[in-house]
A and B are shown apart, each in its own frame.
Chain A
Amino acid sequence: MNALSLEDITCRFAGRDGGEPYTAVANATLSVAEGEFVSVVGPTGCGKSTLLNVAAGLLEPSAGRVAVFGDPLIAADGVNKRAGYMFQADALLPWRTGIRNVIAGLEFRGVPHGQAMEQGDAWLRRVGLAGFGDRYPHQMSGGMRKRLALAQTLILSPDILLMDEPFSALDVQTRQLMENELLALWAEDRKSVLFITHDLEEAIALSDRVVVLSAGPGTRPIGDFRIDLPRPRDVSEIRMTPAFLALHKEIWGAMKEEVLKAYQRQKAAP
């Protein structure tokens, strides 16, 4: 059974000021098997995040079905309870210290405070933030905030992990460190991951499967590539291997045209 399956999803947004409605995603079908790490790549502004919000139950698709471990997901009834979501933008609560951010989800679930703090401390250590628990997010660097967000999501041990370009705001070095940390944490219990990115190298280095999206509007998957590189991987080293380069060349061949299309469309827009 698939952990997550999106079937024939279409998302149409009402046009602004009576303009034409905009179809962000059209007839997209996508699935993530249990324990599989799937990356979705596509040109900028193609509706990747829209697809992820649909999977999270934050956005009701105009048409199509979403199933989570076989059960239908209906956004009006609430969010996807088996999923954790790491956002592209900073989503930490600025008025809570590091540790209280990490345990926010446990608090919402009514876990007793002492127990929650214990787990929180353990998670701070796991993401390398031991001793930073009493700092506020604005007192941390970008990389530390991302690690905090990772702990905040993973402490609930979600069966599905949804990630929306979580590391795109980081510098290259910090980013590769974070990617390695993510892989190490993921290897411990092999959750299903749906990882959105515009960076093809990142997608190949992390994933079991890479799905390429077409340029918007009316985005849908146009390519599906299995990444059979051996694990465990080191993201900075694996980029040099011939197998990686061959995969990169193959997938880029499928993506290039869409990226150019998206670029032309953005340039033509008034």
Chain B
Amino acid sequence: MKLRVLQVGVFAALVLAWHVLTKPGLLPNFYFEQDNRAAFFFGEPAKVFWVIVDWFASLEIFQHLWVTLLETLLGFVIGAAFGLAIGLWLALSDTASAVTEPYIKGLNSMPRVVLAPIFAVWFGLGIWSKVALGVTLVFFVVFFNVYQGVREVSPTLLANARMLGASRRQLLRSIYLPSAMSWVFASLHNAVGLAFVGAVVGEYLGSAQGVGYLILQAEGTFDINTVFAGIIVLTAFALVLDAVVTMVERRLMTWQPKASETEKV
């Protein structure tokens, strides 16, 4: 509870500082020569707030938000599914992992954002070019974590399951998958953020709707308040998605020991 108060306090302090430093005529000029310059470069929190209220009141934002969230979710789900499947396959097959190793390394070290224009050519300016970008970003994070998770399965656990009569399939289901899960969830938090990056960067490079498109439009007219409003809305929804991942994680990972399990009586 006390923590929440402090967290809100930090937020309020930041907004207040932002307001005081950018409001024209409030403080004497100490950096810019004209008093409306700070507002021009950094926006004003009150105006940003009203942009957001206006978006939601006029329902204008929902169409864009829906597109961006759809791109994000599709990129996230498809990328994570591929990462999981291929991670499992390569971790369990020594030959396949040895053959593909240099390619995986190469693809991973490549700055994949440069693929965005190519995807736009391949998949058009609709949502699928953004989804494709999200998938390439999400895939590698999940893939490497699954690969590592499966590789680090305790050999004793495997030997025990084999002695108890587990077949290869049962080993995969009962040992490899649950064991890799804690690694997968650690990566999913990163992956949500990256799926957003894929969607917004994709929209930024060419689109007709989406929050990234709104931001791009506002930048074109130097409307810095709208840019900030877009950033804040995106951040809020990224936090919501992250909370959803955390919720699913809690449900599935009840078996994990917590740091301390005593309760006050």
Residues of B within 8 A of A107 (CB): 170, 174
Residues of B within 8 A of A267 (CB): none
Cβ-defined contact, B164 with A58, below 8 A: no
The contact of A93 among B162, B167, B175, B256, by CB within 8 Å, is B175
CA distance in complex: A84, B156 (Å): 14
Smallest CB separation, B61 vs chain A (Å): 42
The contact of B160 among A53, A83, A91, A109, by CB within 8 Å, is A91
Given A95-B178, A96-B255, A108-B170, does the pair A90, B165 have CB atoms closer than 8 Å? no
Chain A CB count within 10 A is highest, among B157, B159, B163, for B163
Smallest CB separation, A142 vs chain B (Å): 14
CA distance in complex: A82, B133 (Å): 53
Task: Pick 17 A–B contacts, CB within 8 A, sort by A.
Answer: A56-B163, A80-B163, A85-B159, A85-B160, A90-B156, A91-B154, A91-B156, A91-B157, A91-B159, A92-B160, A93-B161, A94-B255, A108-B165, A108-B174, A109-B165, A136-B254, A152-B164
Docked complex: B228-265 residues within 8 A CB-CB of A: 254-257, 261
Q: Does A144 contact B (CB under 8 A)?
A: no
Band of interface residues on A:
20 to 34
B side interface size, CB within 8 A? 23
Smallest CB separation, B262 vs chain A (Å): 12
Q: Does A79 contact B (CB under 8 A)?
A: yes
Residues of A within 8 A of B178 (CB): 93, 95
Residues of B within 8 A of A84 (CB): 163
Q: Does A25 contact B (CB under 8 A)?
A: no
Q: Does B78 contact A (CB under 8 A)?
A: no
Q: Encode contact with B along A84-108: 1 for CB under 8 Å, 0 otherwise.
A: 1101011111111100000011011
CA distance in complex: A122, B261 (Å): 29
Cβ-defined contact, A105 with B255, below 8 A: no
